[in-house]
Amino acid sequence: MTDRVEDETATRIGIVGAGAAGVGAAYALRDADAAVTVVEKSGGVCGRAATRRKNGCRYDHGANYLKDADRRTEALLYELGDDGLAEIEEPVWTFDGDGEISPGDGRDSRKFTWTEGITQLAKRLLDRTDATVHRRTRIEAIEREVEGVAGGEWTLVDADGERHGPFDALLLTPPAPQTAALLRATEWEDDRLGQLVEAVEAVPYRTIRTVVLHYPFCESRPWYGLVDADREHAVGWLSREECKAGHVPDGESLLIAQMSPAWSEERYDDPLGDVADDVADRVARLLGDERYRDPDWVDDQGWRYALPDAAVDREATERVADAGLYVAGDWVVGEGRVPEALWNGHDVGERIAADLS
């Protein structure tokens, strides 16, 4: 990522959120005559496609890998450089509400990550842009200035009272509930805003809490991941990070247990020490091995708004585009997959460039 020399004639575009949709939009705008600013509330990028390091391990504790990579996505991965790009060879199997494990149906898609973690997707995309990225910047209000300005301008106000902008176009990419909260905190007297808020708030979400379990031994197994096909088990997903090159030292095992929405909502705010034993017990029973009841260290992450269960009403989002206000994300598409968020953001980025050219 390089610093753009300020050009007063360039279109000014603000992007809230450096998840897959936000960086996808920035990447689409890389060759446009635009000064792009991305603001991100956390210290990292790529949103739920997150990677963490601890005790010599590297693990993807949100989105586990890029799946269902179509030709467009696969071509992009290699365009970003195949150094460190890793394909997970082991398949995903299934289990039911009783914990009965079965081989998959043979239609398991190709699964990609990087030796340095799945956050490489956003890092490599941003490195190929001139976008300015402000991390640890939580936006709490949006202002709209119309009087005396052709087309109007948008300004972002962060939690410290700092102002970012003005922008000719603004793209919001946080999960739908967080985007709705920002829209409610927007100073813009226009009926279309209320219609958009109502549409965004209507998008339903699943909550997921991830618990990470580490063991000083490694057991050979024929699968990389297990998914609860019936959605009746407390464990929704279980995977082995040691199947990813460069993630776990030899002779060790690190399991990613993503709990079901029902379990996650009930135990979301419980301290890790109160839930780790329960999760480890369930994992041990699922694997039929008592050793998994006693991990030597644990970690966790909660995703209050993990996966959307429906798409937003597109008519409401289209009505505000001529005012330079856009939204993007997997919730716009209605499918919680990283490529869906990425390409939705990319397509919106291309539209912004066309609309403002």
Cα angle, residue 331 at apex, residues 200 and 223 outer, rounded to 5°: 155
Considering the domain architecture, whether residues 211 and 302 belong to the same structural domain is answered as: yes
Cα–Cα distance for residue pair 80/210, rounded to 1 Å:
29
Question: In this structure, is residue 83 part of a structural domain?
Answer: no
pLDDT tens readout for residues 306-354: 999 999 999 999 999 999 999 999 999 999 999 999 999 999 999 999 9
pLDDT tens readout for residues 224-275: 999 999 999 999 999 999 999 999 999 999 999 999 999 999 999 999 999 9
Long-range contacts of the stretch 282-289 (C-beta < 8 A, 24+): 282/234, 282/235, 282/257, 283/213, 283/235, 283/238, 283/255, 283/257, 285/99, 286/95, 286/99, 286/101, 286/226, 286/233, 286/235, 286/238, 289/219
Cα–Cα distance for residue pair 82/76, rounded to 1 Å:
10
Over 80: is that where the pLDDT of 5 sits? no
Specify the CATH number for the domain of residue 284.
Answer: 3.90.660.10
Q: What is the pLDDT of residue 3?
A: 41
CA neighbours within 13 Å on the CB side: how many for 23? 26
Q: Which residue has the higher pLDDT, 228 or 69?
A: 228
Cα angle, residue 191 at apex, residues 185 and 192 outer, rounded to 5°: 80
Considering the domain architecture, whether residues 342 and 260 belong to the same structural domain is answered as: no
Considering the domain architecture, whether residues 258 and 277 belong to the same structural domain is answered as: yes
Considering the domain architecture, whether residues 181 and 304 belong to the same structural domain is answered as: no
Average pLDDT of span 61-72: 84
Q: Are 300 and 209 in contact (CB under 8 A)?
A: yes
Considering the domain architecture, whether residues 31 and 154 belong to the same structural domain is answered as: yes
Q: How confident is the model at residue 69 (pLDDT cuts 50, 70, 90)?
A: low
Q: What is the pLDDT of residue 6?
A: 47
Considering the domain architecture, whether residues 294 and 324 belong to the same structural domain is answered as: no
Over 60: is that where the pLDDT of 2 sits? no
Q: How confident is the model at residue 150 (pLDDT cuts 50, 70, 90)?
A: very low
Percent of the chain with pLDDT over 70: 95
Cross-strand pairs, 12:
35
Domain span including residue 253: 90-110+206-308
Over 70: is that where the pLDDT of 203 sits? yes
Within the chain, residue ranges assigned H as helices are: 20-28, 71-79, 120-127, 176-184, 191-201, 261-267, 272-287, 314-318, 330-333, 338-356
Q: Are 244 and 255 in contact (CB under 8 A)?
A: no
Structure tokens that stand for 333 in this block: 């598409």
Count the Cβ atoms, other than its own, within 10 Å of residue 5.
8
pLDDT tens readout for residues 96-117: 999 999 997 766 778 999 999 9
Specify the CATH number for the domain of residue 187.
Answer: 3.50.50.60
Cα–Cα distance for residue pair 172/175, rounded to 1 Å:
9
Cα–Cα distance for residue pair 313/336, rounded to 1 Å:
16
Considering the domain architecture, whether residues 105 and 142 belong to the same structural domain is answered as: no
Q: What is the pLDDT of residue 112?
A: 92
Considering the domain architecture, whether residues 300 and 343 belong to the same structural domain is answered as: no
Domain count across the chain: 2
Average pLDDT of span 63-80: 86
Q: In whole numbers, what is the pLDDT of the chain averaged over residues?
A: 93
Question: In this structure, is residue 212 part of a structural domain?
Answer: yes
Considering the domain architecture, whether residues 133 and 26 belong to the same structural domain is answered as: yes
Average pLDDT of span 73-88: 92
Q: Are 264 and 209 in contact (CB under 8 A)?
A: yes
Q: What is the pLDDT of residue 90?
A: 94
Element (H, E) at 61: none
SS3 state at 102: strand
Structure tokens that stand for 99 in this block: 């914990």
Question: In this structure, is residue 77 part of a structural domain?
Answer: no
Rg (CA), the chain: 21
Q: Which residue has the higher pLDDT, 10 or 264?
A: 264
Nearest to 196 by CA among 210, 182, 206, 215: 182
Over 90: is that where the pLDDT of 295 sits? yes
Considering the domain architecture, whether residues 295 and 215 belong to the same structural domain is answered as: yes
Q: Which residues contact 22 (CB under 8 A, 6 or more apart)?
A: 15, 16, 38, 40, 47, 171, 173, 328, 345
Over 90: is that where the pLDDT of 89 sits? yes
Sole residue written with tokens 């912004």:
352
